[in-house]
Structure 1
Amino acid sequence: MIHVFTLVTYVHIFSLAVLCSVMTMCWWVIGLLPVFFLCGRYFYSLRVIHGFLEHAMSRDMGDIEGFYMNTSDSCLWVAVLEGKVVGLVAAVSPTKSNGAVELQRMSIDRRFRRCGVGVVLGRKVLEFAVSQGNSTVVLGTTAYKQTVHRLYQRLGFRCVGVTNGFVTPGSRQSLLERIFYRVRYNHYSFDVQNSRTALNGQH
């Protein structure tokens, strides 16, 4: 995924360079294009991320108890090490989910990654799905680090699709955001029925 992300960046820079060379014939302007593009990517990436955080706080993360703990078809777990919260994950059964539960909000403190926290949290969601009688666990991620994808694959998830140019919740969907901030959304699925025996053996 990271290679596609980089390729898109180079295509945009090359296109702008060609356009500027035709319009201005000024080489120093062309030389500044990579700096301009990287600054634009940084600015609009921050804006999209802040928009996503505001969107999350206006929904479930602003009322965790009300959203996750007051119904039997959703739950949220927090991982604690040495008295510190180091990770969290949530499980939600969306309306009209056809027996699926969605793994959401997987987040691990970077200081405690590669310590097995993600595996423990992920298994909590899978065990929850078994206890609720769900047939499938689904999730989506825009992470570009392969360690994230290996975590889900280790848990037994398989990638079932990719959405290019995914619109991040909370973004303004402006033209400049679409130019400077492009991500892939990877769809993963876990078949609870076929993995029930393995999950029971992990207790």
Structure 2
Amino acid sequence: MASYRIRQYRDQDYEAVRTLFTRGILEHAPSVYRNALRSAWAQLGLLVVFLAVRVTVGYWLLGLVALALGLVAIWLLVRNFCTAYVEQALSTDLQDIPAGYLRAPDSGFWVAEAGGTVVGTVAVGQPEDPSERGVALELRRMSVSRDWRGRGVSKALCGEVLRFARARGFGTVVLTTSVVQVVAQRLYEGQGFRKVATFSPSLLATFLGFQLFHYRCDLPGRSAPTAR
């Protein structure tokens, strides 16, 4: 088995990091779609479409066609939902990684490299929630190439963030992951994170039954954080 190493981000990693992130998010689209079909709102919408066409036209076959079109419409919504998230990330913090993570205070960006290829990424920065700033750091942009999953890369990247936070004097690390990222949830919980909140980021997400989970890890040996 080939070895890998964790190192700080370099300028030449730019395209590899963005590509790895994009692929990692878009590959979750089928899981988001399956999750959406379990949503009560989506099921109700499909039922209404089917019954409306069935009653109006009077043919079961056309009702089934309308139902199939509804399923396609939901898939397109899911695909656009995932794509919009990728585009938002690529145009914000992943557009200028050095400015967002290497030169910003209490921030960092690392890659896992194997054979000269970037196979994993992770970042840390100030939390989006103002109430957590100054007392916690936020783990972000965790992504590992499909071929390198199950080899301890994610655990090593997560450990890098926890060590960084501890070295900077922070007693807490937070992160946000989604309902469909079950493997990631298990990884984080295995590293000491616990789920502290659940929310939907938008009305579309609510319709699709898509939820985000906010996790928190209080670092061992640290006292309760105090505001800075």
Same fold (TM over 0.5): yes
Residue correspondence of structure 1 range 54-133 to structure 2 within 5 A: 54-94=87-127, 97-133=133-169
| 1:182 positional shift | 4.1
| Map of 2:198 onto structure 1 | 162
Match of 2:221 among 182, 196, 201: 196
| C-alpha distance after superposition, 1:150-175 (max 9, x if no partner) | 111111111112113x23xxxxx7xx
Percent identity of equivalent pairs: 29
Secondary structure of 1:12 counterpart: helix
CA distance in 2, matches of 1:105, 1:24: 49
Match of 1:7 among 38, 43, 49: 38
CA distance in 1, matches of 2:35, 2:83: 24
Secondary structure of 1:188 counterpart: strand
| 1:93 positional shift | 1.6
| 1:178 positional shift | 5.5
Normalising by structure 1, we get a TM-score of: 0.80
Aligned length: 186
Residue correspondence of structure 1 range 23-38 to structure 2 within 5 A: 23-38=56-71
CA distance in 2, matches of 1:142, 1:80: 26
Normalising by structure 2, we get a TM-score of: 0.72
Across the aligned residues of Structure 1 and Structure 2, the Cα RMSD in angstroms comes to 2.5
CA distance in 1, matches of 2:194, 2:210: 19
| 1:20 positional shift | 2.8
Indicate if the aligned counterparts of 1:74 and 1:92 stay in contact, CA closer than 8 A.
yes
| Map of 1:136 onto structure 2 | 172
| C-alpha distance after superposition, 1:11-58 (max 9, x if no partner) | 432233233333333211221244213311222222222222221122
